[in-house]
Amino acid sequence: MVTLSTTGYGDVTPQSFAGRVLAGLVMMCGIGIFALWAGILATGFYEEVRRQDFVRTWQLVAAVPLFQRLGSGALVEIVRALRPRVMPAGTIICRKGETGDRMFFIVEGRVSVATPNPVELGSGSFFGEMALISGEPRSATVSAATEVSLLSLYSVDFQMLSRSSPEIADIIRRTALERRGATPDA
Ligand code: CMP
C-alpha cells in the first residue's frame, strides 16, 4: 500500500494488523480524493475549451450569409460540424487532381481559383464543393490570395446538412453545376 500510494516509508508506522488495514484504507482514499478532483478539474477545463470553440465558430458561421437561412437546430449542428482555419496568403488550399473530402466556406479574405480564366472568390463564397458532390478529383488548384479565414465541412457533415437544410444543399449543388459549365475541361 505504501509503495502503491507513494506515501513513503515514515518513522511512525502502524503496528497492529487493524492499524495497517486502516492506514492502507486512508492511503487509497487519499488517491481517490485526489483523482476525483483532478478529474473534475480536467472535465471543467475541457468543457470550457469546447464552449469557447463553439462560440468562436458560431461567430464565424454568422459571417456566411448562406447559413442565415438555417433554423436554430440545424445551425447548432452545422456549428459543431464546421472546422475553422486561418491560412496565410499564398497557401495552396487544394490542388487540381487531388481527391476532395471537404468543402470550404470563406469567412474573411479572398482565394484564387486557377481555372483557365482565373477567378477570385471572397467572403461568404464557398469552394471545393464540386469534388465533394461528384466524387471526382479537384477541378482546379485553389490558393489563398490574401490571409483567409475558412470553415471546412467534411463530406459526412455535408450529408447531414443536405438532410437538415435541403435548400442550402440545393444552392451548393446548383453552384457546382454552373461552375462545371464555366470550366468545361474540369
Ligand atoms: P473542386 O473541384 O472540389 O476544387 C476546386 C474548386 O474550385 C471547385 O471545387 C470549385 O469550388 C472551384 N471552381 C472551379 N471552377 C470554378 C469557376 N469557374 N468559378 C468559381 N469557382 C470554381
Radius of gyration of the chain (CA): 27
pLDDT-based confidence at residue 10 (cuts at 50, 70, 90): confident
Q: Which of 126, 150, 152, 179 to mutate to test the pocket of ligand 1 (most atoms within 8 A of CB)?
A: 179
What integer pLDDT is reported at residue 75 of this predicted model? 87
What integer pLDDT is reported at residue 185 of this predicted model? 56
- pLDDT, one tens digit per residue, over 93-121 is 999 999 999 999 999 999 999 999 999 99
- pLDDT, one tens digit per residue, over 112-151 is 999 999 999 999 999 999 999 999 999 999 999 999 999 9
Higher pLDDT, 186 or 55: 55
The whole-chain average pLDDT of the chain stands at 91
- Which residues, other chains included, contact 79 with Cβ-Cβ below 8 Å and sequence gap of 6+? 54, 57, 58, 61
Give nearest CA residue, ligand 1 atom 19. Answer: 179
CA 140 / ligand 1 centre spacing (Å): 6
Distance CA 104, CA 107 (A): 9
What integer pLDDT is reported at residue 120 of this predicted model? 97
Domains of the chain: residue spans and CATH:
1-63 (no CATH), 65-182 (2.60.120.10)
What integer pLDDT is reported at residue 12 of this predicted model? 81
What integer pLDDT is reported at residue 183 of this predicted model? 67
What integer pLDDT is reported at residue 184 of this predicted model? 59
Distance CA 104, CA 144 (A): 12
3-state helix, strand, coil in the chain (%, to 5): 50, 20, 30
Cell reading at 129: 464543393
What integer pLDDT is reported at residue 111 of this predicted model? 98
Residue 179 has pLDDT above 80, yes or no: yes
Ligand 1 atom nearest 100 alpha carbon = 3
CA 57 / ligand 1 centre spacing (Å): 24
Ligand 1 atom nearest 137 alpha carbon = 2
- pLDDT, one tens digit per residue, over 77-97 is 899 999 999 999 999 999 999
In this structure, how many other beta carbons lie within 10 angstroms of the beta carbon of residue 113? 23
Check if 175 has its Cβ closer than 6 Å to any atom of ligand 1: no
